[in-house]
Chain A
Amino acid sequence: QVQLEESGGGVVQPGRSLRLSCAASGFTFNTYGMHWVRQAPGKGLEWVAVISYDGSNKYYADSVKGRFTISRDNSKNTLYLQMNSLRAEDTAVYYCAKSARLLEWFGNWFDPWGQGTLVTVSS
């Protein structure tokens, strides 16, 4: 079955960097777009970034544009989120999620989601 497993979360000081990973299995990774979504403690869901199946297209939420970079290594079935210049408001559980439809990375819902990794930005 499809599995997504995030890692790399932790406590980091404001202004520092962190890289999250999402290991995928159970599907042909290089044929699906992938997303990052975050959820601040006690809050709702916020879409963060998307990358197309081949890595040629990337889009970001305004709140992270210029600070976060989404990437993927299709040879390793792994999705990444490089987070720079972190702020207190970036504190959240970060989920990776798979685009639901083959090759259609835009205009898709998410299914499934990983279990999430917690990022805490604090001095």
Chain B
Amino acid sequence: DIQMTQSPSTLSASVGDRVTITCRASQSISSWLAWYQQKPGKAPKLLIYKASSLESGVPSRFSGSGSGTEFTLTISSLQPDDSATYYCQQYNSYWTFGQGTKVEIK
């Protein structure tokens, strides 16, 4: 099974800050990685697929990069609406999620 590890588990940043979340896979998954945003009591929402492709309608301040085993989600200028938990997901072999990163606004 492919394990996904996200870091940090929680981060606190100010509006306008650049924020980076890292996701590491236990083995190479090429670019078969997605990122989701989940707000409390809501379903996850797709942000990024194939490691760096931005889903239609998602603000351009979100970007993804990486391949192989190391990936990042970057929010270029943090906004109040970005307060949420973010999950990475590999879909190279079945489906596995990272444990999540909670982003808080200072």
Residues in chain A within 8 A of chain B (CB atoms): 35, 44-47, 50, 59, 95, 100, 107-116
CA distance A109 to B49 in the complex (A): 7
Query: Contact: B34 with A110, CB < 8 Å?
Result: yes
Query: Contact: B97 with A44, CB < 8 Å?
Result: yes
Q: Is B44 an interface residue, CB under 8 A from the partner?
A: yes
CA distance A44 to B3 in the complex (A): 13
CA distance A115 to B34 in the complex (A): 19
State the main secondary structure of chain B at its contact with A: loop
Query: Contact: A35 with B44, CB < 8 Å?
Result: no
Residue of A nearest to B49 (CB): A109
Query: Contact: B49 with A115, CB < 8 Å?
Result: no
Given contacts A35-B95, A111-B46, 9 further A-B contacts (CB under 8 A): A45-B38, A100-B46, A108-B91, A109-B89, A110-B36, A112-B45, A112-B46, A113-B44, A116-B43
Residues of B within 8 A of A111 (CB): 46, 49, 55
Residue of B nearest to A111 (CB): B46
With A44-B97, A44-B100 already in contact, the answer to whether A107 and B92 are too (CB < 8 A) is: yes
With A44-B87, A114-B43 already in contact, the answer to whether A109 and B97 are too (CB < 8 A) is: no
Subset of 30 A-B contacts with CB under 8 Å: A35-B95, A44-B87, A44-B97, A45-B36, A45-B44, A45-B87, A45-B89, A45-B100, A46-B97, A47-B94, A47-B95, A47-B96, A47-B97, A100-B46, A100-B49, A107-B32, A107-B92, A108-B91, A109-B34, A109-B49, A109-B89, A109-B91, A110-B34, A110-B44, A110-B46, A111-B55, A112-B45, A113-B43, A113-B45, A115-B43
Residues of A within 8 A of B96 (CB): 47
**Number of residues from B at the complex interface, CB < 8 A:** 22
Query: Contact: B43 with A95, CB < 8 Å?
Result: yes
Residues of A within 8 A of B95 (CB): 35, 47, 50, 110
Residues of B within 8 A of A110 (CB): 34, 36, 44, 46, 89, 95
Produce 1/0 per residue, B76-93, CB < 8 A to A.
Answer: 000000000001010110
Q: Is B65 an interface residue, CB under 8 A from the partner?
A: no
List CB contacts (< 8 Å) of B42-64 with chain A.
42-46, 49, 55
